[in-house]
Structure 1
Amino acid sequence: MEVTQKNIENIRKRYLRYLKLQRGMSPNTLDAYARDLDKLLNYLDGIGLHVLDVELSDLQHFAAGLHDIGIGPRSQCRILSGVRTFYKFLVLDGYIEQDPAELLESPVLGEHLPEFLTPAEVDQLKDSIDVSKPEGHRNRAIIEVLFSCGLRVSELVNLKLSDIYRDEQFVRVFGKGSKERLVPISSTALREIDNYWSWREELKIKPGEEDYLFLNRRGAHLTRTMILIMLKQQAEEAGIQKTISPHTLRHSFATALLEGGADLRVIQALLGHESIATTEIYTHISSQTLRQTILEHHPRNMRK
């Protein structure tokens, strides 16, 4: 068929609809895939090549160009993963017969071990909060829920009162692609929520926000940015030198479980990881911790 700019736009729309409906991607993930696809489409438009006429060598030149304009290896991997997904869709939907991206390689990434806090450091973070301030108990509850349940920050800001089963001590979480899972919640986290409750009840809550657990002073549910800023400020006040984000507490949750003897498959289910390979990063963290313990405490390593 003759490929026009209108046809390309229709292909783009069908692809994004496929990601949303068939792959169940969240709006944030969908936006990221759309932006990455547009990088490819703009590149092809610049060299006068239609998206259905692409060969492997064209995609390799595109990949090399990402490096040349200063995009980091990790971002390159994400973009090229989206390119491979896009061309798989084109084959699946009958636009092309051969997948030119099948042999497209991503840059090799060095092993990156995410930062995590020990349980003592989590307590240090919480204890540094001034509970005489209006949001004090709320912020303690946020930190404890992140650490006790291992939630993503997007899952935390969307956590509803109706998702908390106090008697059973579980919370219902909607993760990536709106996939639902049940995660145990500790009695400590529930106690911190109770401490926060009296301040929450005094808020003038905006219509439609009544079921959200964590609210700001204006009675609206929190954003991811608000929680990131709060954690960074609190880490500084607590004297914690590590780079802290909401994901740090998720990593801390998983690391604490692994070092406590939990099975990796159980941790995978609690975190909502689709692949066990994603969860296996925590085995490296644990090994690193064990090695450091030996270096610091084994008599053969201790200086007299």
Structure 2
Amino acid sequence: MRIFQAVEVTVEKDEIVWAVVDDRFVLSEECRGYALWLAHSGRAINTQKAYQLRLARFLSWCAERGTPWEGLRFHQLAAYKASLEGLRDKSGDGLSGKTVNAHVTAVMVFLRFAVVHGLATDQLRATVEGRRHAVASLGPEGQWKTAPARLVKAREIKRRPVVLTPSQVGRVLEVVERPRDRLLVLLMLRCGLRAGEVLGLRLEDMHMLPDSGHLGCTIPGPHVHIERRSNPNGAWAKSPYERNVPVPADVCEVHAAYMTQRYASLGGNQPDALFLSMTAKNPAALGYPGLHRMLVTVGKSTGLPVRAHQFRHTAATGWARAKVDPDVIMALLGHRSLASTSIYLHPAQEELRSAIEETLLGKENRP
């Protein structure tokens, strides 16, 4: 039985991408083409890795069952979804509906690629192209469009974002004393930046003065510019649209402390990347693994399961609790639709309780 796995491979012009290989480390032409297409389709490196890991599971399942993926039928795709729903993680829990759907989505992206590029049979083409269409949704340029609905879909339980309480935020900031790490955390916690956006920042993006006219920037006040571009550390801004986010005074202060430390260590030879890994002899841009190690250390020190996106959730939820206009929250987060922002526009538990208790109190006081 052939077992497939996702690994980093070198393809054209010494380009390193995530791809699926078999148990003999053979990279098929279809998997090679798909890896290159995925790498150049505007997806972050972590997304590429996730898609390839899920594709490897699917191809291994097909090999185990003797099912050629090139001629996959609808009932076989449904059987694969059912197999995912039967999996158990280390704690003995099943995969969530959201995780199952993420696996199926990754498989469908590969199958559609195969159909478009003539790598599939007529049967797979009929399976993929026979899908129904979802309701129209607003496109990035303001136009209405239809999107293909999932052929198979697991039930999802919608959960509110997990955020840090004010006391938990205080505990995190108490243990993050190093200027670099503190700036990292504050940009996510105060400004709502994504991990990929923070790690992709360059010195030129940080406009920390009240007036940045000398830099050719007309935006008033301290702010940071977010721009999607290729970075040597693999960092990738999720949104293709540029935006700027104002920064508060405490972020400016920590940025100044960090830059003072950088110039003391490196002098005038400053790399472009804002956040550096200083463990190597030659400082390099801090990557996702370095950020993860830092957050693991913070989690151990505080006893909290700290994640990078949790800081972003905390910032957005704080803005919503402060009654900031949803359009403003959407712009700060870099969302293109209010539907993405709406997950933060829910009442807090204390607000729900207050509404009931105040209503009862009002009834009791009536003559």
Q: CA deviation at 1:58?
A: 0.5
**Counterparts in 2 of 1:11 and 1:211: CA distance versus 1, 3 Å:** same
- 1:85 is matched by which residue type in structure 2? V
Partner of 2:223: 170
TM-score, structure 1 normalization: 0.78
Q: Which has the higher strand share?
A: 2
Quote the Cα distance in structure 2 between the aligned partners of 1:110 and 1:58: 25
Quote the Cα distance in structure 1 between the aligned partners of 2:185 and 2:78: 44
2:71 pairs with one of 39, 49, 53: 53
* Root-mean-square deviation (Å): 3.3
SS class of match (2:190): helix
Partner of 1:12: 31
SS class of match (2:245): strand
Partner of 2:284: 220
Which structure ranks higher in relative contact order (CA pairs < 8 Å, sequence separation ≥ 6)? 1
Alignment of 1:1-304 (within 5 A): 9-21=28-40, 23-70=41-88, 72-73=95-96, 74-94=98-118, 95=120, 96=122, 97-100=125-128, 102=131, 104-118=151-165, 121-126=168-173, 128-129=174-175, 131=177, 135=178, 137-166=179-208, 167=212, 168=219, 169-173=222-226, 174=228, 175-176=237-238, 180-204=242-266, 210-218=271-279, 219-234=283-298, 237=301, 242-273=304-335, 275-284=337-346, 286-288=347-349, 290-292=351-353, 294=355, 300=361
Q: Deviations over 1:135-192 (max 9, x none)?
A: 2x33332222111221122222221111112334232223127654332222321121
**Counterparts in 2 of 1:293 and 1:242: CA distance versus 1, 3 Å:** farther
**Counterparts in 2 of 1:47 and 1:275: CA distance versus 1, 3 Å:** farther
- 2:223 is matched by which residue type in structure 1? F
**Counterparts in 2 of 1:80 and 1:288: CA distance versus 1, 3 Å:** farther
**Counterparts in 2 of 1:15 and 1:54: CA distance versus 1, 3 Å:** same
- 1:227 is matched by which residue type in structure 2? L
Structure 2 unmatched ranges of 5 or more: 1-21, 90-94, 132-149, 213-218, 229-236, 363-367
User: How many pairs align?
Assistant: 284
**Counterparts in 2 of 1:76 and 1:262: CA distance versus 1, 3 Å:** same
TM-score, structure 2 normalization: 0.66
Quote the Cα distance in structure 2 between the aligned partners of 1:129 and 1:42: 44
Structure 1 unmatched ranges of 5 or more: none
Partner of 2:12: none
Q: CA deviation at 1:57?
A: 0.4
Quote the Cα distance in structure 1 between the aligned partners of 2:324 and 2:341: 12
SS class of match (2:225): strand
